[in-house]
Amino acid sequence: MTRSGKDYVEGLRDNRRVFVDGEYVSDVAAHPAFKGAVESIARVYDLAHDPANAAEMTFPSPTTGAPVNLSYLIPRGEDDLRRRRVALRKTAEATFGLMGRGPEHVAGFLAGWAGRSDVFAAGEQRFADNVTKFYEYVRDNDLYCSYAIVPPQIDRSKPAHQQADPHLYAGVKEEREDGIVVAGAQMLGTGAAISDYLVLSCIVPLQPGDEDQAISVAVPIGAEGLKIYSRRSYAEAATSVYDYPLATRFDETDSLIVFDDVFVPWDKVFVFRDRQITSDQWSRTPAHLLGNNQAQIRFSVKLDLLAGLALRVARMNGSDKFPPVRGVLGELAAHAAMVSGLVYAQEQNCELDEKGVAWPGREECYATMTLQSDFYPKLLHLVRDLVGGGVIQLPSSAADFENPEARADFERYVQSPGHPTIERVKLLKLVWDLVGSEFASRHQQYEMFYAGAPFLVKSRMSQIYDFARAEALVDGALAGYDLGGRTETVQA
Ligand SMILES: Cc1cc2nc3c(=O)[nH]c(=O)nc-3n(C[C@H](O)[C@H](O)[C@H](O)COP(=O)(O)OP(=O)(O)OC[C@H]3O[C@@H](n4cnc5c(N)ncnc54)[C@H](O)[C@@H]3O)c2cc1C
C-alpha cells in the first residue's frame, strides 16, 4: 500500500543516530539540516498516494493486491519499462530531477535483485528467499531504502583485508547463530539520514581475502550501532528559500555510514562472504540497469530544467535571438534530447532474460553513464557563460529588500523589461543554485560520480559495446582494396 507523506515523516521518528555539526539529531524531520529534504520526499510520497495518480504511478501488489509504487515493478517487457518511465518521470519532476537518491532509486535495484533471486540462491536458497521477502516487505510498505556500496577512501592502493585495520571497510566482524555483526564504514549514503532502510554491499571489485566485505545486507536506519555522519547541510546554511530555492528544498545530504558492531539478523542477509555473488548481483541481475535507468530518467528532467532556465535568462536579458546564444541553447537542448532519447532506446532495446525479466538496453544505459560525467560540467559552463555577471550582481539576500534605500536602488538597476526586480532576482538566484552555489557544485560532483569513478564507467562501456559489430565494418572496409589498387564494394 502506498504511504502518504505524513506516514513517511512519522516513520522517521525512530532511534536513528544522525550527526551534523557535532550535534546528534534525534528528529531529522524537524532539524533545519534535513527538514526541507524530508518535506520534498513527503510530497513525492503524496503524489503516488493520491488516488488521482494511482493508475499512472502504482501497480497492484502481487501479494496483497493493494496499490504499490511503480518504482518497485519488476518489468516483464517494453510496456512495463515504458509505464515505469512515465511514473518515474512524474516522480522526478516533483523535485526537478534534483534528488538523486529518493525512494525510487534503490527500489529499482531491489526489483532487479528480486526478479533474479536465483543469482542469490547460488549461495544458499535462504538468501534468495531473504531477497524476495525483503523486496516484498519494502514494496508493500512503501519504504525508502538508501544504499552505501563503496568503501571509504582510505588507501585505494590496497584491498580491504590489507588496510591498516581489517574492519575499516564495512564487513562481517562476527558470525552468530541468529545473524551477523557488521563493523566498519562505507560511503556515501545519499539520503540515508532521511530514509527507512540502508542497503549495505560492495560494488567495487573485491580481492581474494576480502570475503568479510563480500556481503549484501539491509539494516533499518534506527538499528543500534548504525551512525550516519552527514556532510555540511546546504539547506541549513541557506539564508532563505528565495535566496537558495533548490538547496533549501532538495538537499538530500550525503553521509559517511559507520557500522559500530551492527547486528543483522539472518533474514536481512542476501549475500554472505561470497565475492562471486557480490559481483554477480550487479552484473547477472538487471539491478544496476534498472537503478541507473531511473537515474537517467531523473537526469533528463534536470537537463530540461537547465535548458529551460537558460532560455528564460536569455529572453530576460534580450539576448535570446543572438545567433551565438541560439547556438548555446541548441547545445543544451541537444544534450537534454539525447538523454531522453537514450532512455527511450533502453525500453525499445530491452532484453527478456530466461526468467522473463526485462533488462533495459545495456549499451544505451551505459553510454549515458559514460558521457554524463564529462558533459554535465560542460553544460553548467555553457549556462554560466550565458548568464554572465547577472547571477552575481544580486542582493546579498532577500533581507536587502526590507531596507527601503537598497530596495529603491535594486528596483531601479536590477530589472529588465517585463521583469521587475523581484522576478529578475528570483530567476537568477534559481539559476545560481543550479549552476554555481555549493549545492550546485555538489550536484556536479554527484553527476560525475554517482555511477562510479568515470574511468571505471568508461571501461565498463568498452566491455558492453558490441565491438564485433564495429569490427565487422573494419573487416569490410579492409577487404575492399589491396596493395594492387583493386577496389570493390563489399557486401555486409
Ligand atoms: C555526491 C555523491 C553522492 C554519492 N552517493 C552515493 C550513494 O548514495 N551510495 C553509494 O554507495 N555511493 C555514493 N557515492 C559514492 C560513489 O559511488 C563513489 O564516489 C564512486 O564509486 C567513486 O569512488 P570514489 O569516490 O571513492 O573515487 P575513487 O575510486 O577513489 O576514484 C577517484 C579518482 O581517483 C582516480 N583513480 C582511483 N582509482 C584508480 C585506478 N585504479 N586507476 C586509475 N585511476 C584511479 C580516478 O581519477 C578517479 O576518478 C556518491 C558520490 C558522490 C560524489
Please say if the pLDDT value at position 59 is more than 90.
yes
Give the integer Cα–Cα distance in Å for 191 and 148: 10
Tell me how far the alpha carbon of residue 433 lies from the centroid of ligand 1, in angstroms: 24
Give the integer Cα–Cα distance in Å for 462 and 401: 55
Cell 539564508 locates to 239
Percent of the chain with pLDDT over 70: 99
Same domain, 224 and 90: yes
Supply the CATH number for residue 325's domain.
1.20.140.10
Handedness of CA 481, 485, 486, 487 (dihedral sign): positive
Residue 482 marked as a ligand binder = no
Burial of 311 (0-12, 13-18, 19+ CB in 10 A): middle
279 domain residue, yes or no: yes
103 domain residue, yes or no: yes
- What DSSP line would sit under 266-289, residue for residue? GGGEEE-S-HHHHHHHHHSSSHHH
242 domain residue, yes or no: yes
Inter-residue contact 87 to 56 (CB < 8 Å): yes
Same domain, 114 and 232: yes
Same domain, 305 and 404: yes
261 domain residue, yes or no: yes
What are the residues facing 145 on neighbouring strands? 197
Residue nearest to atom 1 of ligand 1 (CA): 446
Length of the chain: 492
Same domain, 155 and 106: yes
pLDDT band for position 165 (cuts 50, 70, 90)? very high
Instruction: Specify the 3-state DSSP secondary structure of 447.
Output: helix
Q: Locate the ligand 1 atom nearest the alpha carbon of residue 147 and give its number.
A: 9
Q: Do the bridges between strand 145-148 and strand 197-200 make them parallel or antiparallel, or are there none, so unpaired?
A: parallel
489 domain residue, yes or no: no
pLDDT band for position 355 (cuts 50, 70, 90)? very high
Tell me how far the alpha carbon of residue 344 lies from the centroid of ligand 1, in angstroms: 28
Give the integer Cα–Cα distance in Å for 407 and 430: 20
Same domain, 63 and 194: yes
Percent of the chain with pLDDT over 90: 97
Instruction: Choose one of 241, 263, 283: the last residue of a domain.
Output: 283
Instruction: Choose one of 248, 283, 318: the last residue of a domain.
Output: 283
Mean pLDDT of 399-410: 97
Same domain, 57 and 166: yes
pLDDT at 216 (0 to 100): 98
Tell me how far the alpha carbon of residue 454 lies from the centroid of ligand 1, in angstroms: 8
Task: Provide the domain count of the chain.
Answer: 2
Side chain identity at 303, as an amino acid letter? L
Tell me how far the alpha carbon of residue 190 lies from the centroid of ligand 1, in angstroms: 13
Select from 99, 187, 194 the residue to mutate for testing ligand 1; criterion: most ligand atoms less than 8 Å from CB.
Answer: 187
Beta strands per DSSP E along 118-170: 145-148
Instruction: Choose one of 283, 301, 323: the last residue of a domain.
Output: 283
Give the integer Cα–Cα distance in Å for 489 and 492: 9
pLDDT in tens, 198-234: 999 999 999 999 999 999 999 999 999 999 999 999 9
Supply the CATH number for residue 267's domain.
2.40.110.10
Same domain, 178 and 292: no
Select from 190, 250, 253, 447 the residue to mutate for testing ligand 1; criterion: most ligand atoms less than 8 Å from CB.
Answer: 190
pLDDT band for position 491 (cuts 50, 70, 90)? low
Same domain, 251 and 334: no
Same domain, 273 and 292: no
Residue 139 marked as a ligand binder = no
Instruction: Specify the 3-state DSSP secondary structure of 375.
Output: helix
pLDDT band for position 303 (cuts 50, 70, 90)? very high
410 domain residue, yes or no: yes
Give the integer Cα–Cα distance in Å for 92 and 274: 35
In 3D space, the residue among 336, 261, 268 whose CA is nearest the CA of residue 303 turns out to be 336
